């Protein structure tokens, strides 16, 4: 059994890297576990603990659904927190919904259902997790840093691959090991 998820990997460009550095610097006295830049991704579907035979079925489905799909552009824009500013848990930057991303998510969710995998039934909210907040003493600093990026277009990137990852949880942070890569 492996803990798996399906994602699009994002390589941080100059502006996204600068944003992350600015957030880390401005929030250096807070208790935040920052995402390793190598692990930045858009989760399309989190499957959790999955048996080997189901992983094989997911692999086959992804090969079929991704082949010939076609690459598309993504726009990384804005910033915010999950839960709320009063009780922040995750710092994120957003992904503009594009027709390609919406269609890719729908095709993969449909493929998972037909494979017999139960998936979360909630709206698709594409984002990049930048940090997981343990505690924040000064929420005004957090708010002012997020406001700086709230409506800013941070990066454009072309997506041409979907990756099936195994998530290995360690005390030092997760390791995301690619199990399969699927060209679009």
Question: Which residue numbers are catalytic?
Answer: 41, 127
The CA distance from 48 to 29, in Å, is 33
What does DSSP assign to residue 118? -
Nearest Cα to Cα of residue 6 among 167, 162, 122: 162
What backbone phi and psi angles, to 5 degrees, belong to 3?
Answer: -90, 115
142, containing H or E segment: helix 139-149
The CA distance from 132 to 127, in Å, is 13
Cβ distance 176 to 41 under 8 Å? yes
Compute how many other C-beta atoms are within 10 angstroms of the C-beta atom of residue 146. 20
């Amino acid at each position: 059994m492996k803990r798996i998820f399906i994602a699009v990997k994002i390589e941080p460009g100059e502006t996204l890297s600068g944003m992350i550095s600015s957030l880390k610097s401005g929030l250096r006295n807070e208790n935040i576990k920052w995402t390793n830049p190598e692990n930045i991704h858009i989760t399309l579907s989190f499957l959790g603990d999955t048996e080997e035979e189901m992983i094989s079925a997911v692999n086959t489905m992804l090969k079929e659904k991704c082949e010939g799909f076609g690459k598309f552009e993504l726009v990384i824009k804005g910033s915010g927190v999950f839960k709320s500013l009063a009780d922040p848990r995750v710092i994120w930057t957003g992904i503009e919904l594009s027709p390609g991303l919406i269609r890719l998510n729908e095709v993969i969710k449909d493929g998972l259902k037909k494979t017999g995998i139960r998936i979360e039934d909630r709206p698709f909210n594409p984002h990049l997790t930048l940090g997981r907040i343990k505690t924040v003493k000064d929420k005004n600093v957090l708010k002012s840093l997020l406001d700086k990026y709230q409506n800013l277009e941070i990066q454009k990137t072309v997506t041409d691959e979907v990756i099936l990852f195994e998530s290995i949880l360690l005390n030092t942070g997760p390791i995301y090991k690619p199990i399969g890569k699927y060209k679009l």
